[in-house]
Amino acid sequence: MRIDSAERFAALRAEARQRDESQPRKVLVCCGTGCLATGARGVAEAFAAEVAARGLDVEVNLGVKTTGCHGFCERGPLVVIQPEGLLYTKVKAKRVPEIVDRTIVGGEPIPGLLYKNPANGERVSAYHEVPFYKHQVRVAMRNIGRIDPTDLMDAIAHDAYAGLAKALFEMTPEQVLDEVERSGQRGRGGAGFSTARKWRSCRAAPGERRFMLCNGDEGDPGAFKDRSIMEGDPHSVLEGMIIGAYAIGAHEGFIYVRDEYPLAVVNLELAIAEARRHGLLGESIMGSAFDFDIRISRGGGAFVCGESSALMRSLEGKTGEPRAKYVHSTAKGLFDQPTVLNNVETLAGIGAIIHHGGAWFAAMGTERSKGTKAFSLVGKVKNTGLVELPMGTTLRHIIFDIGGGILNDRPFKAVQTGGPSGGCVPEALLDLPVDYEKLTEAGSMMGSGGMIVMDDRTCMVDVARYFLAFLTEESCGKCVPCREGLKQMLAIYDALVDGRGSDGDIARIERLAAGMQLGSLCELGKSAPNPVLSTLRYFRSEYEAHIADRACPAGICRALTAYEIVPEACDGCHACFKACPTDAIEGTIKELHVIHQDACISCGACFDVCPTQAIRTLPKVELASREVV
């Protein structure tokens, strides 16, 4: 089974493809983390048992395959039936016998399990006609949802390691670098630095050892695309690392993975073991003269260890703290040796770039931002999940055409991109093309690919406060501007949302932000003011309302917001009565209800469940003035 030549790999690849094509009928069950949380494992087991009991595995050569994340997390568990390309959503194990009877045996789709387009109410049966998938172009995620991540032969049947074979047997390291440079690929971890330039710098640096590292320490709230790639297609990550190591002359590699990603660790370990066993890792890879091996290091969940130098210190067994940026890791990185650190998504695309050619990748995207980008689309959007699109796609297209629009059809307010170090982009910029430069100009950033959608019931002051609280907790505390700047800024925001804001707070926030950007040691501190400055830039009136009017325009900050029932709109449905956690609402069914303000905690539960919009928000100061009168 060991691959010891280009010919042996070609033969194994042909064998893998023949095996895959010999079983055209398949049931693909999404077993990514999201679907597993809603019962996908039971669905897969039910299919396997049902198929075996009926002998369909022999009679019609039907196979059941568990795959990684299909991306459409909002609709899981997901099941795809091939070759029809039929997509079933929210599948329960108890429906499996019916699916086998009516669809697999009878050839009839089950309407209730098909995706229902909220725009027109129509049921969509074909996987690639569902708007969420129809507009996507996948490179880094090309095989997720198609292959069993624990089956090397399945991965090889879908072109895994084809790029590696081409690099080792048809290209020199310099030619690999040229091809990556031709692709125009930039790092998908946030900074957007040229991949080829980073690799060339490392190759040219003097040193006894070189290291190839993968950053799988995805710590941004709302981001999970790296997790899904590691879980669903670990071989794409390994292939990218091996090609990169060949290009820079490294023989040792590490994948740094969050400890909170247990399935990713398991699937990576299985992939590494299989790759070693088949001669794709270790000594004399594929029978060539190139040696390279990979180990996994599990991070403790410190957000700062996503920063390159802090990650490398953690790998060395030291405290994860950043160091001054004038020391470049490509010259002095891990153990002070030349080191390349790339993001999971960056590496997952390398194999495809080498296999198809740099020009193929460069044909997608914009002039300065080539290729595709994966995003974790979450928040107040109908279709949450994982998407990959060409660079330059507009925010409007992502949120409304793919995401299906805003939950409950509420007005769109903002989208936060780039994680806690990113910024909030308002409705006026919905037609902004998503690329590195445009997002930076708008006061945000690409980041690791998190995209959090917000509706009109979002307080932008509170959003900035949330991210400041996160970064204050995650700061390593090594440098004063970040450590003290975050604490002082958070104290101002706590006062703002509690109704204790004062004149001059906005100016103080801006001075603190400027100091942090200028003096912080690493990007955590330098970029921490982004959510603050972007919300000030686009939503300054909300800050002014918190200070001058003691009011939260979004009706979210509890200390500033009261709720009351509009008598003429209340039909006595009793929904608010049932939702109230403090029994602050009085009323009987079909009669007018009343909120007792002394017991109300302004949680908004009543507002969220009211079907007739009979509950409105108002500033507590207005309520107090009424009582005085």
Q: What pTM, to 2 d.p., does this model score?
A: 0.93
Residues in a beta bridge with 386: 376
Domain spanning 25-82+86-125, CATH class: alpha beta
Integer Cα distance of 389 and 366 in angstroms: 12
Which tokens sit at 360? 């193929």
Integer Cα distance of 469 and 108 in angstroms: 52
pLDDT digits (tens, 9 = 90+) for 425-438: 999 999 999 999 99
Handedness of CA 249, 254, 256, 260 (dihedral sign): positive
Handedness of CA 347, 348, 351, 355 (dihedral sign): negative
pLDDT digits (tens, 9 = 90+) for 571-616: 999 999 999 999 999 999 999 999 999 999 999 999 999 999 999 9
Q: What is the pLDDT of residue 622?
A: 85
Q: What is the pLDDT of residue 421?
A: 83
Integer Cα distance of 184 and 93 in angstroms: 45
Q: Which among 155, 173, 345, 165 has a CA at the least distance from the CA of 251?
A: 173
22: amino acid identity, one letter? S
pLDDT digits (tens, 9 = 90+) for 271-303: 999 999 999 999 999 999 999 999 999 988 788
Classified by CATH at the fold level, domain 461-549 comes out as de novo design (two linked rop proteins) (1.20.1440)
Q: Which CATH architecture has domain 561-628?
A: 2-Layer Sandwich (3.30)
Domain spanning 152-360, CATH class: alpha beta
CATH 1.20.1440.230 in the chain, residue ranges: 461-549
CATH 3.40.50.11540 in the chain, residue ranges: 152-360
Q: For residue 366, give the DSSP letter.
A: -
Handedness of CA 479, 482, 487, 492 (dihedral sign): positive
- Identify the residue whose tokens are 């260890």: 305
Range name among 148-162, 312-326, 347-361 with the lowest pLDDT average? 312-326
More confident residue, 411 or 307: 411
Q: Strand, coil or helix: what is 246? A: helix
Q: Which CATH architecture has domain 372-446?
A: Roll (3.10)
More confident residue, 120 or 297: 297
Q: What is the pLDDT of residue 447?
A: 80
Q: What is the pLDDT of residue 277?
A: 96
Range name among 118-127, 158-167, 354-363, 459-468 with the lowest pLDDT average? 118-127
Could you list the beta-strand ranges (E) of 380-518.
Answer: 385-390, 412-417, 423-426, 450-455
Q: Strand, coil or helix: what is 504? A: coil
CA atoms within 13 A on the CB side of 386: 27
CATH 3.10.20.600 in the chain, residue ranges: 372-446
* Residue 629 reports pLDDT greater than 90: no
CATH 3.40.30.10 in the chain, residue ranges: 25-82+86-125
529: amino acid identity, one letter? P
Q: Which among 269, 319, 270, 273 has a CA at the least distance from the CA of 297?
A: 269
Q: What is the pLDDT of residue 628?
A: 54
Task: For the beta carbon of residue 514, count every other beta carbon within 10 angstroms.
Answer: 13
- What average pLDDT does the structure give for the chain? 93
Which tokens sit at 400? 């409304």
End-to-end CA distance of the chain: 87
Q: What is the pLDDT of residue 236?
A: 98
Cα dist. 460→250, 354, 541, 562 in Å? 46, 44, 10, 18
What does the chain come to in residues? Answer: 629
Confidence of residue 627 (pLDDT cuts 50, 70, 90): low
Q: For residue 30, give the DSSP letter.
A: E
The secondary structure of 82-105 as a DSSP string is: ETTTEEE-S--GGGHHHHIIIIII
